[in-house]
Structure 1
Amino acid sequence: MLCLTLTGSTLEENRALVQQNRKWISLAELRLDYLQADEQKIASSFPSTVDIPVILTLRRQSDGGKCTLSEKQRLQTLYESAKGDFAFVDIEEDVKKSDLKFKDPLFENKVDFELSLRQRGVRIIRSFHDFTCVPADIYGRISKLAAKGDIPKVAVTPKSMIDVIALFRAQQELSSIKEKIIIGMGEFGVCTRILYKKCGSMLSFCSAGEGAPGQLSAQVMSELYRADKLDEKTHVFGIIGNPVYHTASPRIHNPGFEAIHYNAVYVPFLVDSVRAFFKLAEMLQIHGFSVTVPHKRNVQPYLGRITREVKQIGACNTVTRIQNMWKGTNTDYYGFLAPIADEIAQGSIRTALVIGAGGASRAVVWALHNHGVKVTIINRSVEHAKLLSDETMSSFDSLEHCNRYSGAVDLVVQTTSVGMAPNLDEDPVPSFVFSGKEIVYELVYQPKETPFFRRATQAGCHVIGGAQMLIEQGKLQFESFTGYHYPHWVHPEI
């Protein structure tokens, strides 16, 4: 189940959010702490105005909420609101039983809040939040919360891949607790939100705006990742990197899986330790994954087989599980070549200028060299350019001498990150003059048009954007992962 966290300031705003997201969600969480004070007073009416079950929550600031009331006032407000037709009420694990007895003019004696909820068939969620870490006794805490018959909820903050493993292990460690909610907050926790069923969690929260750290929108969770439709037979694929959430790769692979009715999901994993990720990959039976910076070299010691391109380039961007071992390939190599293969075959690309000498440049220079193109590498650090040129039998020069090559090469390839955020206005070679006859290849794909891309277009060059290479290498990965060609009727939105 996907649960939409409602953070509107009015009930009407929250009703609109439910309506807008209705096709993607199964239930909603009304956050009283986001409501205006006068709206809180009538919050009990909310569940009867929407057509899905609602969780009632009034979160303290110490637990990541906005409530500034005294604890006594907070619990009284929660009690009054809970008189509505809510399906669940969230009560923090450290709230004492004695604090949950209230005077009510309708009753002679004090009302036991918990007992009254149970008598009405309202489920209690007992929640624990930790914004600093994943506690060492996490399984014990969950078991203790479940002991009363309530639904235990833990929202904790993994700070490493080891912490992420601890959350995914909860499914086997706590298999006897059928109903539980396990959430990994923050950047490392995103994969646990998407693969919440693999943690043994009964639901995952999603947002329609401001939400908890790492929370994704309902549409992304349901349409892109199909998180609520994953099952035990779903094949898990992914991409590892640090950073990783800028990646457009899920928008290539997941629509492809859906188009051919392949039961699989492609998930981003923020990875600080490659060794720990391989442990997680075994635990989740991950079938394959893409690799981005800074792990393209780091994964190689864990691979049973690598292709000639990986050996040559020294970088692996695709790992697949084959016969109980991991195989490493490099689809950047062929993905780069795909848009210019005809020009190389026809002999209209014989010389190339490659800007940059980093990881992306290595695949580009080797691909061109292996296809008989004479390459010159220019780079801010001449030493790095010389090292790569020695390996690839290419020429090299300083970035400041770029104008020497104006009008003298058939292909210009831009492999640096210049033009990406935060350097959106920068051009790696502002003094380079395009003749208009060059084929220009910009590897940056976000944004679609960099200053370098625009200058080349204005000069009349044939310009290839980075999205083409990304899609082509992604299609090759898709074939490695699934054994099927990428569906030609799917056009990824990059």
Structure 2
Amino acid sequence: MTKLTLSGSASLKTDGGARPPAPFSAFELRLDLHPDAALPPAGDLPTVYTCRRPQDGGRFTGSEVERAAALQRALTACRPDDCIDIEWDSDFRDWPRRYSDIGFIMSYHNLSATPPDLDNILTRMTAEPAREYKIITAARTWQDIVAIKRLLADARRRVFFLTAYCSGPLGPVSRLLALAWGTRRLYLAAGTPLVSGMLTAEEFLKVYRAQRVTVGSRLYGVAGYPVERSLSPRLHNWMFELRNSPDLYVPLPVPDPDDFLTALPDLDITGLSVTVPLKEHLRSLCVSCSVEATRIRAVNTLTHGAGGWHGDNTDWTGFRDGAAGFLPAAGPVLVLGAGGSARAVMYALELAGIKPFVWNRGRERLERLLTDYPAVQPWNASHAVTVQAVINTLPHDAMVGLDEVGLGGHPPVPVFDLNYGSPASRILSDGTARRWPVRDGLSMLYHQARAQHRRWIGSDPPVSWDQARQLLLQALSERSSGGESFTGEAD
């Protein structure tokens, strides 16, 4: 089981008590941040003593002689279960041989890249005696994360303790995936992260609930770009926790689809939610697709089986169920956008017998949608047609409002927006300002996630919409009170 190690504070008393709350099993005392801290710290958790150099992500600015003096204090204070972290390429690499009665973590940090010779580096590190080993590199590509996974697999085969994951933009996901790949420790920030890619203890427990995860846990995630603000991890991990499941759902940022697709077979992912801009792109990955995904020509749900990836689309049922009781039962309606989400909406409207118009600024994508859905008509505001509802599938940051699509003088009608969060999309803001009935994409997010859960697990999650709504609104409120924008689309 991974040792969850709280880092960054001066003592264990993070909540006024004698020790951090469960599930933390260790405490890292950063002597480069807290040089005057009492040693050993109060409390009964094992302590990892660290005094990190700037090139390794630390704050110590003194000489190596001064750093040695700081670590000598730790040598004196060390208890049997405590450890001292020393860098493999530092002047202290011989300390494990000199002080054989002390537990050491031999560490290597490269915060600019993931070297191609990591295997050789680890082999040379393990030639030195230590209780544990630690490798942190900067991930520039998904292949870098695969390299870390292979190191962890090697450590399990050779039966030694290794902590390994990445820093940088791909750092958070590498750290979460490493839980299922056997990392010895996961360091979590007590407050502000100490390095890029570090998770805070709060998000680890609130968003990912990842204290449940063990080696071999099934992995799921939302693939797209950007995905860092998606609410899907909070929703799915809550569902897993309510089932007492160790499975984990993570954000999978994909700035380069080719890089991600090359790495995907080695990541041990069981299921994927697919969001913009990959809903049409990842369909080519599937060896089979559901009837719905084939008709829609876009996937938002992938499930890995013995034969490969099976593609499905739960956006259309998410829209259908999320809009139930809000949108009128008869058309016509106006759909804004012509991407994968718009296609799912068109399919749901087609099954319901509702006539749609469509507006899209780009002509090529619009033409493809019109070819696949001959009953759909392009919107022309000059024809003075009255629609019964507006459905917005455009990206949140699209600079398009109701006036731009020709609805400036239109009578009030319901507006359903697939986006959620703050600040609201232009369409939703315009509808609210004009006192039109509006609904954002939270209900769709829940219903399509529920359908995904059913496909992956085989049964519905034990969560009602009312329960999920409270969780999601709380998440939005926390982001808003923290001064952050928090936007997304139903994944």
Task: State the alpha-carbon separation in 2 of the partners of residues 383 and 149 from structure 1.
Answer: 62
CA deviation vs aligned residue, 1:88-138 (integer Å, no higher than 9, x gap): 1111111235x97xxxxxxxxxxxx5456433xx31111111112211121
Q: 1:134 aligns with which of 105, 114, 129?
A: 114
Q: 1:351 aligns with which of 332, 336, 343?
A: 332
Are residue 88 (structure 1) and residue 83 (structure 2) matched?
yes
CA deviation vs aligned residue, 1:190-241 (integer Å, no higher than 9, x gap): 2221132444321111112132211112133245434343224522222222
Q: Secondary structure at the match of 1:34?
A: coil
Are residue 31 (structure 1) and residue 30 (structure 2) matched?
yes
Cα gap change, 1:147 to 1:203, in 2 (>3 Å) = same
Asked if the contact 1:21/1:218 (under 8 Å) is kept, the reply is no
Question: What residue number does 2:391 align with?
Answer: 413
Task: State the alpha-carbon separation in 2 of the partners of residues 404 and 85 from structure 1.
Answer: 80
Task: State the alpha-carbon separation in 1 of the partners of residues 46 and 99 from structure 2.
Answer: 15
Residue identity in the other structure for 1:160 = T
Are residue 205 (structure 1) and residue 203 (structure 2) matched?
no
Cα gap change, 1:61 to 1:403, in 2 (>3 Å) = farther
Are residue 5 (structure 1) and residue 4 (structure 2) matched?
no
Q: Secondary structure at the match of 2:335?
A: strand
Cα gap change, 1:80 to 1:196, in 2 (>3 Å) = same
Q: 1:148 aligns with which of 103, 125, 128?
A: 128
Q: How does 1:69-468 map to 2 (within 5 A)?
A: 69-85=62-78, 87-96=82-91, 114=96, 117-119=99-101, 122-150=102-130, 151-174=132-155, 175-207=157-189, 208-271=191-254, 277=260, 282-341=265-324, 348-382=329-363, 384-393=365-374, 394-397=376-379, 401=381, 404=384, 408-418=386-396, 420=397, 428-430=401-403, 432-433=407-408, 437-447=412-422, 449-457=424-432, 459-468=434-443
Asked if the contact 2:6/2:187 (under 8 Å) is kept, the reply is yes
Q: Where in structure 2 are there 5+ consecutive unaligned residues?
A: 473-491
Cα gap change, 1:77 to 1:323, in 2 (>3 Å) = closer
Task: State the alpha-carbon separation in 2 of the partners of residues 205 and 243 from structure 1.
Answer: 25
Cα gap change, 1:241 to 1:154, in 2 (>3 Å) = same
Question: What residue number does 1:474 align with?
Answer: 449
CA drift of 1:427 comes to 5.4
**Count of residues in Structure 1 that have an aligned counterpart in Structure 2:** 458
Residue identity in the other structure for 1:176 = R
Cα gap change, 1:340 to 1:349, in 2 (>3 Å) = farther
Asked if the contact 1:236/1:285 (under 8 Å) is kept, the reply is yes
Task: State the alpha-carbon separation in 2 of the partners of residues 348 and 383 from structure 1.
Answer: 30
CA drift of 1:59 comes to 1.1
Cα gap change, 1:275 to 1:177, in 2 (>3 Å) = farther
Task: State the alpha-carbon separation in 2 of the partners of residues 279 and 450 from structure 1.
Answer: 34
Asked if the contact 2:152/2:162 (under 8 Å) is kept, the reply is no
Q: Secondary structure at the match of 1:319?
A: strand
Task: State the alpha-carbon separation in 2 of the partners of residues 156 and 367 from structure 1.
Answer: 46
Q: Secondary structure at the match of 1:445?
A: strand
Residue identity in the other structure for 2:122 = I
Asked if the contact 1:182/1:199 (under 8 Å) is kept, the reply is no
Task: State the alpha-carbon separation in 1 of the partners of residues 314 and 163 from structure 2.
Answer: 38
CA deviation vs aligned residue, 1:305-356 (integer Å, no higher than 9, x gap): 1122222222111011345332101111111111334577xx7331111122
Asked if the contact 1:21/1:219 (under 8 Å) is kept, the reply is no
Q: Secondary structure at the match of 1:77?
A: helix
Asked if the contact 1:161/1:272 (under 8 Å) is kept, the reply is no
Compute the TM-score of the two structures, normalised by the length of structure 2.
Answer: 0.84
Residue identity in the other structure for 1:417 = P
Would you identify which runs of 4 or more consecutive aligned residues in structure 1 move more than 6 Å? none
Task: State the alpha-carbon separation in 1 of the partners of residues 104 and 316 from structure 2.
Answer: 54
CA deviation vs aligned residue, 1:393-427 (integer Å, no higher than 9, x gap): 222246xx48945xx11110111124x5xx8xx65
CA drift of 1:454 comes to 4.2
Question: What residue number does 1:108 align with?
Answer: none
Asked if the contact 1:402/1:429 (under 8 Å) is kept, the reply is no
Query: Which shows bigger deviation, 81-90 or 311-320?
Result: 81-90
Question: What residue number does 2:55 align with?
Answer: 62
Q: Where in structure 1 are there 5+ consecutive unaligned residues?
A: 101-112
CA drift of 1:467 comes to 0.9
Higher Cα Rg, which structure? 1
Task: State the alpha-carbon separation in 1 of the partners of residues 164 and 326 from structure 2.
Answer: 53
Cα gap change, 1:49 to 1:433, in 2 (>3 Å) = same
Residue identity in the other structure for 1:412 = V
Asked if the contact 2:285/2:309 (under 8 Å) is kept, the reply is yes
Asked if the contact 1:225/1:266 (under 8 Å) is kept, the reply is yes
CA deviation vs aligned residue, 1:435-487 (integer Å, no higher than 9, x gap): 66522101111227445334424544332211111111111101011001121
Q: Secondary structure at the match of 1:134?
A: coil
Compute the TM-score of the two structures, normalised by the length of structure 1.
Answer: 0.83
Cα gap change, 1:383 to 1:241, in 2 (>3 Å) = closer
Residue identity in the other structure for 1:2 = L
Task: State the alpha-carbon separation in 2 of the partners of residues 185 and 217 from structure 1.
Answer: 13
CA deviation vs aligned residue, 1:162-184 (integer Å, no higher than 9, x gap): 11111111233232142111121
Asked if the contact 1:161/1:273 (under 8 Å) is kept, the reply is no
